[in-house]
Structure 1
């Protein structure tokens, strides 16, 4: 199995891509306002913010946009169209960038302000962010990769959240997706041993209801079957001798 361990020159490119991805996501999140830009406009702006990195998602397996924008019940692969956002919408932005042939990826969720009662969605976002922090902190050389999902699921269960099992983190670098697979749920069979120098994404996908999902007829939007809201967070990390360096952090 080819794990995501990169040479120093490749690591520098992944690091630069990660910084550009994080900056682009931060700037794009500022545009998440009710009756503001369309989802397509937000994706186009994210692509501009990402420069000089190239958008890794654009054209990947036919995906037609730079930014994956998932709204409310959509878990991932959200197709940016001409819709505008409403107060209380829960929006996940996922973005990946390519610098000199090396990739980094990240995702973050936000609640559009202005709703009278969006406390449940706000809590889901806050706890999803905390689940990511805990999972990244648990990564250490010598531990099995299943520690990531175990930490995420044990934390999410405290609040009765669903944990999506069909997607997860993965190695990243010379390819957008490569080994190892990093489950975001408790998966004891994922026994790859974490080693210094690995680069992979840690991904959290939580729902307010069932974790069961389905894909729409167009083959893009992946949504919860019960149509409950979801939040997702992701960072690209480098495994160091003592823990991790978050390559998509600011």
Structure 2
């Protein structure tokens, strides 16, 4: 992972642009992600929209040899799920869709866990708690805070609810490169870690498991699942450290910052 890159005013304008466009992709997908749709169809619809409508680039495609525009992680898949024509969504599924978008040289990264209509109450609770945990971490962001403050807040929400935090994967700095410094852990101790400074841009993307935190990577070399095959959920936003707090660059048009 490269060094931490503080963004100047012009670069922040471009980061905002990429984030806003990416938020529109998720808004479009609200009508796409439904029972009977394959995960490859979700990928194809998103890629067409990004390229044709938004005149942008799906930054994940070709990165590290990955062939798709996004990741689709269903149920026990923690992250890096591969779109597949044969994997059609069931009404009881939850699915995380993770997308990166590049416009004018700058990249935004975000994910949403969609809850299908007949998902269990346990699945719904896991997804809601993960979202709450992400926001608990985001709200720690400000100049002078430390990354350990972010991780500790996320960990407290997840573990208080009886869940576990995946420690094998983390958030990351982002800008001209998809993966810049720093690494953003979703667990930690308050008052520790890298000092946050105005102009930093990074993702906060906790993966929360219903059972063990342990994971296993499938033979395809990409797909990461829970070791016990229990459910996993994830949410992600790209965040900017401002002069007095934070700005969520990938905030959805209909999304409100929790009180």
TM-score bracket, normalised by the shorter chain, equals over 0.9
CA distance, structure 1, for counterparts of residue 214 and residue 155 of structure 2? 15
1:43 maps to 43
Between Structure 1 and Structure 2, how many residues are aligned? 247
Structure 1: 5+ residue stretches without partners: none
Q: After TM superposition, which residue ranges in structure 1, 4 or more long, deviate above 6 angstroms?
A: none
State the Cα distance separating 1:189 from its structure 2 match. Answer: 9.6
CA distance, structure 2, for counterparts of residue 84 and residue 236 of structure 1? 29
Correspondent of 2:90 among 80, 86, 91:
86
1:96 maps to 100
Q: What TM-score does the superposition give when structure 2 sets the normalisation length? A: 0.91
Checking the alignment, whether the CA contact within 8 Å between 2:93 and 2:116 is kept in structure 1 is: yes
State the Cα distance separating 1:90 from its structure 2 match. Answer: 1.0
Q: Which one is further off, 135-144 or 23-32?
A: 23-32
- The answer to whether the aligner puts 1:56 opposite 2:56 as a matched pair is no
Checking the alignment, whether the CA contact within 8 Å between 1:4 and 1:200 is kept in structure 2 is: no
- Secondary structure of the equivalent of 1:128? helix
- After superposition, residues 23-172 of structure 1 pair within 5 angstroms as 23-35=24-36, 37-50=37-50, 51-82=54-85, 83-115=87-119, 118-172=120-174
Correspondent of 1:211 among 210, 213, 222:
213
State the Cα distance separating 1:75 from its structure 2 match. Answer: 0.7
- Secondary structure of the equivalent of 1:44? helix
- Secondary structure of the equivalent of 1:138? coil
Q: Deviations over 1:58-77 (max 9, x none)?
A: 11101111011100010111
Q: Deviations over 1:107-161 (max 9, x none)?
A: 110211135xx10000111111111111111111111111111001011111110
2:256 maps to none
Q: What TM-score does the superposition give when structure 1 sets the normalisation length? A: 0.95
- CA-based RMSD: 1.5
